[in-house]
Structure 1
Amino acid sequence: MSIRKALASDNFGAKAVVQKSLASFGLLADFDTLDAAIGALGLVNSPNAIELVAEVDGKLVGCLAIQRKEGNVAKLFGFHVDASMQGRGIGRALLAEGIAQAVTHDVVQLELETWGNMGAAVHLYESLGWIRGPDPLPESGADRFYSLALPR
C-alpha cells in the first residue's frame, strides 16, 4: 500500500471510489455540490489544501481531501476506502497521513461531517480522538459532526 498526493489522473478513480462507497449507504455522489472536494481532486483549480490517495498494487482504493476554512481550521472531505479493501488498515493510514499533513500546514483543528450509519468510519474517527459535536443542519448532507484538535 502507498499513500501519495493526488494527481489529475486520479480524479476519475477517486470519484469512482466515492460513488461506490456512498451508493452502499443509499446515497448519491454529487461532485458539483456536497462532494465537490473530490470532484476537484488533483485538478489545477482545486480548492483543496491537501489531497491524498491510497493505492494497492497500482489501483486507487482510497482518497481524502482537506480544505482550509477560517484561520487555522480545516475540514476533511471525501474520506472513502473501497469496501473490498476495508479492514486492512488503509483508512487508518490514509487518515493519519492527512492529519500529519494538516499539522504541517499549521492547521490546529480539523472538522468533518459524516453519517452515523457509516460505522467503520465513525469508529475510526473516535478511536483517533475525534470528538462529536452538535449535529449539522440537514442540508449539510450528513447527520454527525466531529472535530479533532491538532498539536501545534
Structure 2
Amino acid sequence: MKFEHVVIVNEPDNPLLEDISREELWFGLLCRVENPAPFLPGLEGCSVLDRRGDELLRELDFGELKIRDRVTMVPMESVTFEAERTAEHAGGTLTIRIEEPVPEQLVLRFMYATTLQEENDDGPDMIAQFVRSAYHESDIDTVRVIRAIVSSGRMQ
C-alpha cells in the first residue's frame, strides 16, 4: 500500500494559526528522530544503535514489540524512516518532506509505502483503510507536538 497526504503547518491567510519557521519545523522533525516518545504513543524507549552523518539506525521499544528502523535526513528538507520487516512487524517506509507551495505556507507531506494490500477480492481492504486513517491522525498529532515544542521555547 502506498499513499500520501499533506498536513498544513502555516497558512498565511489564517490569523488564528501562529506561523513557525522552516528552522523550527526542522527542529521538530529532528526531535521526532532523536526522542520519538512524544510522537509515538506506546513507545517505551528508543536506542540509537549507529549514527553516520545524516543517517542513523534505531531500535524502538514498544514492550513486546521491537522495531528497528533506519532514519535518513536531508537537512531542512526531509526525513525518511525505513522500518525493517520482521515476523512481528510488516515493515515499511515513511518520508516526511517539508514543502512550501506558496511563500510562507509550510506543509508537511507524509508519504507511506507499506506491505499491506490496498484491496482484496471483495474490494478495498478495510484494514488498509483503517491504517491510512490512523496514520493521518498520527501525522496531525505530529504537527501538534512540533507546535508544542516550538511554543515551549525549547529552541531558544
Give the TM-score of the pair, scaled to structure 2.
0.31
Report the structure, 1 or 2, having the larger helix content: 1
Larger relative contact order (CA 8 Å, sep ≥ 6): 2
Report the structure, 1 or 2, having the larger strand content: 2
